């Protein structure tokens, strides 16, 4: 996928919708709704933007026990998002539960299942920080590749990574495994 994703980093739903009003109604955009806008606008903002025929990356980076993530993903699958994400650090069982929840929610709502991405390491995390704070002794790239492999094993469609890591991930896991690169390391 090479379509750019526009971040709707606005403090309110009204600001985001006003921004979108500046585009022709016939133009379909790929938009990212992050935590700030989602926590202010809730599920309604996702549904309102989806109703305008835009594709949505719901960037909430869920990370909790598998049961909670599964139930959350059931709800997310009903909102009209095209893609959503979780933290790979939650582990294989949590990622599998996320996929199961999306499958269940999409089937119940008679909607396509949103693509599921796993965040390997935040693009703001340096190798030094990963060693000192997360106590992960391997290289940053080894950690990212390990999380990407687990994500693929769990049934995720791809990962969120920096452009510096995309070719490494594609070389190891195949070109069909998505690499979404919203940030620069």
Contacts of 89 (CB under 8 A, 6+ apart): 63, 147
Q: Is there a contact between 20 and 52 (Cβ–Cβ < 8 Å)?
A: yes
Catalytic pick from 3, 25, 61, 71? 61
Whole-angstrom distance, CA of residue 128 vs CA of residue 137 = 10
Q: Which residues of 15-50 are buried (b: 16+ CB within 10 A; e: fewer)?
A: ebbeebeeeeeeeebebbbbeebbeebeeebbebbb
Whole-angstrom distance, CA of residue 161 vs CA of residue 21 = 30
Q: Determine whether 61 is an active site residue.
A: yes
Which of the residues are catalytic? 61
């Amino acid at each position: 996928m090479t379509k750019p994703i526009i971040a709707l980093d606005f403090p309110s739903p009204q600001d985001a919708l006003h921004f979108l009003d500046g585009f022709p109604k016939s133009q379909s955009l790929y938009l990212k709704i992050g935590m700030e806008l989602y926590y202010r606008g809730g599920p309604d903002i996702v549904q309102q933007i989806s109703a305008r025929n835009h594709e949505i990356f719901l960037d909430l980076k869920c990370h909790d026990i598998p049961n909670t993530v599964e139930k959350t993903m059931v709800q997310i699958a009903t909102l009209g998002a095209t893609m959503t994400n979780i933290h790979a650090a939650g582990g294989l069982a949590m990622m599998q539960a996320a996929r199961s929840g999306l499958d269940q929610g999409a089937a119940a709502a008679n909607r396509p299942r949103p693509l599921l991405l796993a965040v390997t390491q935040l693009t703001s995390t340096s190798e030094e920080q990963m060693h000192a704070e997360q106590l992960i002794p391997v290289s940053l790239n080894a950690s990212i590749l390990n999380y990407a492999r687990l994500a693929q094993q769990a049934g995720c469609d791809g990962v969120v990574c920096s452009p510096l890591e995309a070719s490494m991930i594609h070389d190891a896991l195949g070109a069909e495994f998505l690499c979404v690169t919203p940030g620069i390391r």
